[in-house]
Structure 1
Amino acid sequence: MPAFNNITDVGLTGGSPRYSSDDLRSLWGITAPVEKTILLTFGGLGLQQIPYDNLARFPDWQFIIFDQSAPDLPNLVKINDHKYRPVDFMPICGRVVSKPGYSTFSEATILGLPIVTIPREDFAEATFILEGITNYNQHQIITPSEFFQGTWDFLHELPQIPKISQPIAKDGNEAIANAVLNYLQTK
């Protein structure tokens, strides 16, 4: 394996949606307007901790989740097909509510989707990820008690605007692919 001597700063990386918004809405029965469609994605945070009772406070909203153990609720859409990824649903959502995680935050930022998040003490990169979100994306940073014990009134509030007005580069996938191609072409 060749040694790379340079570190190059590239734009954000991540997946791109693979399906049309109309197809996803039709297939999964998503009828709420974008601003009332929320993607809940928590990876390893422990989905059983989500206070699903709060969803009853938003009967005309729809919440999308990939947790098959979530309760059956009229406004909760459980995605049970593994070919779909959270990024596929982002274009039909008004916000993503998630734990700090690079790929979800990067994909949401690339797509211009506001992020609601809860700080995590147990995740070393969380501080840097939260700084990036507050600098470059519309966001709401809520306390664990607002999420776990609160009424989710934060969904009625407007996200905060990014601190930095200059947008972050969103072409990391292309920059990395071009760097690899350039490297291989010189060999």
Structure 2
Amino acid sequence: MSATPHLWLALSPHGYGHTAMTAPVIAEIQRRIPSLRLTIQTQVDPDFLRSRYRHFSHVDQIADFGFHMVSATGIDLEASAQGYLDLFNRFDVEVADNAARMALDRPHLVLSNVAFIPLAAAARLGVPALALSSLNWADMYAHYLGHRPEAPRVLEKLLSAYHGAQAFLRCTPGQAMSLTNQVQIGPIARIGQDRRAEMRRNLGLAGADRVGLIAFGGIGHDLDLTHWPAVPGWSWLVVADDVARPDMVHWRRSGLHFSDLIASVDVVVTKPGYGTFTEAAMVGTPVLYTSRPDWPESPHLDDWLARHTQALATQHDALMGDLAGLLQKLFSLPKQQVATPDGVAEAAEIIVAELERHCAIDICS
């Protein structure tokens, strides 16, 4: 007997990266399975979800939180430790609640990037599950909080949830992981289209003007854009709504999809992050980024980015002090061979095969 395949996608609400990273994989699955039912469980902003996904039902309750942040790169370690301890103390209740929510509209497969409570809930229900990401919160917790007295008990729960998945699809580039169920796949990204002429028309820019994008993900950054250095001939697209400067405008005024915007600007100013780095590397857009040496993904992301586009790490003070000099140095670097999103098809192939197996249909016929 055949059935309409139902995929339950759980997304960490820690910024926008997990949501953006997974979107091209889901688009490829929907291309292969036009009848797919998609449920997305996350607390990511619904407008951002709709900008990246189509035809889905939304469950906006999720216990996972990633880390508590004080800025785009600053982790509140004490608040994060307390958050995990609190979550550990109510872990079974949260898993039971999530399982009950899933049971109301039971999926054929759960895919998580990279929330662990939904994975544990799927295991409790007997629903097959896969994980997909460039990081996992167990190894992240161990890196930052593994010295704490409660860490062994917390890590046992986290690792058990991740190992309950049939496989963890670790996309390139990604942090070193301790998980034993890893399957390595290639990079994942949406390849943006160069639409700079349309962007310039929408923004009313002269032909000689250069355009930069300041984007630090879905977590507020600690740059005071009112003191952003003015560079002659440059205009800046920002994600903030409250910046009143003649050389700055909200990125939505460009009229472009965010991935197309990355392909259309002259530079992206950002922090290390999977989605922005990979989308820039697919189209060769130069990247100026604030270094994040404590973040376990950083060395892998940084090295990979430098192999696929002009990329320069800097510090907050230097960025705010000598932006023109940094841009000159960045653009003097040699151009690199752009990357290809091989991981999109690789991940889709694995996920579709699992849906075929558990949905009792021949999707590919």
TM-score bracket relative to the smaller structure: 0.7 to 0.9
Give the alignment partner of residue 295 of structure 2, picking from 118, 123, 137.
123
Deviations 1:28-47 (A, max 9, x none): 2244458x221111233525
The equivalent residue for 1:54 is 229
Cα deviation, residue 141, structure 1:
1.4
Paired AA for residue 185 in structure 1: E
Deviations 1:113-167 (A, max 9, x none): 11111112453422332222233332111233211233431112325347xx776
Distance 1:183 1:144, change over 3 A: same
Indicate the structure whose relative CO is greater, using CA pairs within 8 Å and at least 6 residues apart.
1
Paired AA for residue 174 in structure 1: A
SS for the counterpart of 1:38 is strand
CA contact (8 A) 2:199 2:256 kept: no
Aligned length: 181
CA contact (8 A) 1:37 1:62 kept: yes
Q: Distance in 2 between matches of 1:16 and 1:170?
A: 8
The equivalent residue for 2:239 is 66
Instruction: Note the aligned Cα RMSD (angstroms).
Output: 3.1
Distance 1:64 1:19, change over 3 A: same
Q: Which has the higher strand share?
A: 2
Q: Distance in 2 between matches of 1:21 and 1:53?
A: 23
SS for the counterpart of 2:347 is helix
Give the alignment partner of residue 174 of structure 1, picking from 326, 333, 345.
345
Q: Distance in 2 between matches of 1:50 and 1:152?
A: 15
Cα deviation, residue 89, structure 1:
0.9
Q: Distance in 2 between matches of 1:185 and 1:171?
A: 22
- Where do 1:96-175 residues align within 5 Å? 96-121=268-293, 123-157=295-329, 158-161=331-334, 168-175=339-346
SS for the counterpart of 2:182 is coil
The equivalent residue for 2:214 is 40
TM-score (norm 2): 0.43
SS for the counterpart of 1:54 is coil
TM-score (norm 1): 0.76
Find the structure with the greater CA-based Rg: 2
Q: Say whether residues 1:86 and 2:258 are aligned partners.
A: yes
Distance 1:30 1:123, change over 3 A: farther
Cα deviation, residue 102, structure 1:
1.0
Identical columns (%): 19
Q: Distance in 1 between matches of 2:227 and 2:207?
A: 18
Q: Distance in 2 between matches of 1:31 and 1:103?
A: 30
Cα deviation, residue 63, structure 1:
1.5
